[in-house]
A and B are shown apart, each in its own frame.
Chain A
Amino acid sequence: MARYGMLIDTIKCVNCYACSLACQTQNGLPDDENFIYFLEKEEGTFPNVKRDFLPVQCQHCDEPACEEVCPTGATYKDEDGIVVLDNSKCIGCKYCGVACPYSARVQLHDSMYKKGTYEDAGREYNYTVEKCRFCKELVDNGEQPACVTTCISNARIFGDLDDPESELSKAIVEKKAKPLRADLGTKPKIYYVR
């Protein structure tokens, strides 16, 4: 049993999209669907300007708004605190997508950018409302989520928040990392350095 979380150091982030592309591959997502998206904010006036980059994905809240509204129990928190989806129970109602304050739910759907296909490997969608699962299949196997392994500036740290000795816990303290919009009360488990 663990309580998995992540730190994203946005000072090191160069907005290179590698995390979202690795995520797409790991999850077999089509080109126009992503579990990670990027916000950018510019502050100041020329020449005193700052650009902030913010990668956002499921924050794996301890009290997930999406779980609360799910009518079938398809969305739930597993024993390691990862918010996951039981596809067989999802009816595609999208309540979770509306409830999530981080816009982190994505309903798999027909490609918005369909001009050609490579090869039909018999893939099927069931229009379930998917999300980042912290690459559970890798984590269960002792590996790191795909967005963490690929990160070229090592801006992401994944680990166990319940272990005070984990690299993650130490980095959160050292870098004074904070969750996004903690005021919304869902107790998110991704901590940001900004």
Chain B
Amino acid sequence: MLKSKMTRRTFLKASAITGVVAASASYVGRGNISDASSIQDAEKIPNLCNGCSSRCGMTVTVSDGRVVRVDGNPLHSRSRGTLCGRAHGAALLAYHPDRLTEPLKKNENGEFEPISWEQAYKEIGEKLQTIINEHGPDSFAYFQNPKRVQRLYGDRFVEALGSANIFSHNASCNLSRDTGFKHVLGGVPSGDVANAKVTLFIGRSYGDGIRPSQLQNLVTAKDNGSKIYIVDPRLNSTSNLADEWLPIKPGTDLALLLAIANVLIEENLYDKEFCEEHGNRFEDFEREMKQYTPEWASDKTDLSVDVIKQVARDLGENRPKAIVEQSWKGAFGCNYENSTETARMVGLVNALLGNINVDGGMLFTSGPSLESPDNLKEPGELKPRVDGAGIKGEKWYLADTAKGVGNAVPDFVKEGKLKAAFCQHHNPVRNHPDYEVMKEGYEGLDLLVVVDIWMSETAEVADYVLPESSWLERTEAVEGLGGKTPTVNLRVQAIDKIHPKTKNFSEIMSELADEMGLSDYFTDLETENRTACEKLGISYDELLEQGTIQLESTWEPGYQGSNTESGKVEFACQAFEDAGFTAVPKWVEPKVTIPEGEFRLIHGKQNIHSHTYSTNIPKLAQISKEYNLDSVWINKKRADELGIKDGDPVIIENEMHTGKTTAKVTEAIHPEAAFYPSHYGSRASLTYNDDNGLSINDYTPHQYEAMSGAPNMMETSVQIKKDGA
């Protein structure tokens, strides 16, 4: 094995060995390898990683004012003392050459020019006030990555102005999943994978979209002899920990779940007592599931009848310590016309297994309640959300209000409903399907303010871009995490600001609030943090020291009721009926049927990248380059038919876009699927990401899933051909 695979490395080795003297100095860490032991007076400062949105607890080692090392914080429930590659890459951000260093304003020629903070606040404040006076508070929206500092300073700012239009990045991640779970179970539980005897993963790969604790739980499960199934059109990076790979036809996971429910009920392998006692209209569900036989599902999914029955029996016979894992974006986060239905069925199959809130099942745990000072002014009544999420009679009544249908912004702008927006830690123009539509939409706003550390595709169409301090340069709001052991966590500033004119988001928003006469709604971060700790009865100073404080467990095993309309598990949801769908989940075909000879373009995370920003981190970009990670996966048989060999340059095209990449020809993917990682194809002018591959969002039209409004990100078909053929 070693020998046969040596070719590329031998080549690399040759380049490495014959290279010449001198150096690039772009690094974090020690000055020189021979100085490796010379770190003096190092200080260890707790932080929360910004490599992705998981915010793993970490310790930053700083020597002489420079970051020399990052380590996982053993107290933190997500990192448990370890860190994935993204953390080591993102540790560089403060020193990145693309950093924004002062506020920018777009001039009449469409070019950005630096302005003072005073001018920025004054102009933004006046423009926003004028828009709100003319068009009402609901013409203003805020786009964020939902963390507590964003809620305290961003959401609160929007609400102080009377708008409820808060959108998170989740429309391009898990809007469908959350919408489905919300209606059947009242929220998204966490699979207790470590203690389950059987776990079925659908599209979710702990080894690709990494959160260390989840992977560690899976390793524990494996060590304990759990049975692990991975349902994925692609054999993902978690595959070695799985017992079986179910290479499902993309977009048909719902059929598998319906058939699992069918077998569990037909073979009496479900928790009858739980379903009858805690289920709403279980008899309707039972009746509807009769039609979804394994034979029917086999035809839809390309999985054999035997495999479908075996999975269902394994789950049923091991209940309640048997779970269908909740996933993130995976297969049903926001990808297909049937994604919300898939999420509903994941929730309901778990309910059939009677595993809700039991050890080895699907847990509902809560985090600590963190409060603000009592003397802050509370926002008054808010105008209804522009997307109608949660509002009966509106198109996206079912959509989860905590996320919002953010992908619909171009439509709201076109309809004249949205006039102004703020955007922070989020890049909707690139991260939602159809760049042209998104760009035009955001450009159409009368006022777009983007807060970021460098230019994104969204920042490039903004009127004002405000430079934020990078994550190691700022302290943030105290935040809580749920779990069997809940924790309180803090990001503490580790190094001095590299660029003195950058500011923390909390400062930017409170200062703008001052300018607009909204000071009463805000206080400074330290007061917020001390108050939150005081009210919780923990020491802020201790938190500053160690970054994480573990709290007493408040989790009680056993079903505690559901936060749904009926207060029960909704085997049939009235809300779905009210919205024009069926109360009981039913089979929904994917929107796009893939014509003969074409491929469904599917995507997913690569474990060194997060969203679309990290391809501009040189260490991580280098790995992508060195290991050809920005290649499209094609099934070997299909590739043979097309005359494509591994490593060949290929063209991916459809009516929306034509682009060039290289082929990874593999047996490890379903023949209908072409897999391309979701991180590449940046269009922003940044140092490390030009010529960095394709974007899946260039191939998918601006469209909506009927139930949740999610962007149906894998509902697209492409042709692939050899370049030059």
Contacts and interface: CB of A to CB of B under 8 A. Distances in A.
Interface of A: 10-18, 20-22, 24-33, 37-42, 44-47, 49-54, 56, 87, 94, 97-98, 102-103, 105-127, 129-130, 133, 135-137, 140, 146, 149-154, 180-181
B97 A25 contact: no
B656 interface: no
A16 B72 CA distance: 15
Given A51-B235, A149-B82, A119 B25 contact: yes
Interface string B50-83: 0000000000000000101111100000000111
B479 to A, nearest CB: 22
Contacts of A149: 71-72, 81-82
A55 B542 CA distance: 39
Interface stretch (B273-281, B468-476, B662-670): B662-670
A124 B240 CA distance: 41
Contact of B27 (A14, A28, A94): A28
B154 to A, nearest CB: 29
Contacts of A15: 207, 237, 607
Interface stretch (B11-19, B173-181, B310-318, B438-446): B11-19
Contact of A46 (B31, B35, B247): B247
B219 A21 contact: no
Interface in B602-620: 607-608, 618-620
B607 A16 contact: yes
Contacts of A20: 85, 623
A102 B22 CA distance: 26
Contacts of A112: 15, 19
A85 to B, nearest CB: 9
Among B18, B91, B95, B618: residue with most chain A CB under 10 A: B618
Interface residues of B, number: 90
B1 interface: yes
Contact of A152 (B18, B216, B668, B688): B216
Given A11-B240, A118-B96, A154-B219, A17 B608 contact: yes
A187 to B, nearest CB: 16
Interface in B681-695: 687-688
B2 A50 contact: no
Interface of B: 1-2, 4-6, 9-10, 12-13, 15-37, 66, 68-72, 81-85, 87-89, 91-92, 95-97, 206-208, 210, 212, 215-216, 219, 222, 235, 237-241, 245, 247, 607-608, 618-623, 625-627, 635-637, 666-671, 687-688
A181 B2 contact: yes
Contacts of A18: 82-85, 87-88
B97 to A, nearest CB: 5
A16 B216 contact: no
A47 B673 CA distance: 13
Contact of A103 (B6, B71, B607, B627): B6
Nearest to B82: A152
A56 to B, nearest CB: 8
B97 A103 contact: no
B237 A42 contact: no
Contacts of A32: 622, 626
Contacts of A181: 2
Going nearest first, the 9 A-B pairs with the smallest beta carbon separation are A109-B19, A14-B207, A137-B37, A111-B24, A21-B88, A28-B30, A118-B95, A152-B212, A16-B607
B197 to A, nearest CB: 19
A3 B276 CA distance: 62
B29 A27 contact: yes
Given A14-B208, A27-B29, A118-B96, 17 more contacts: A16-B210, A17-B608, A20-B623, A22-B85, A25-B28, A28-B33, A31-B618, A39-B9, A42-B666, A46-B670, A47-B247, A110-B24, A117-B26, A123-B23, A123-B25, A123-B31, A135-B36
A116 B686 CA distance: 11
Nearest to A23: B88
Contacts of B618: 31, 113, 115-116
Contacts of A123: 23, 25, 27, 31-32
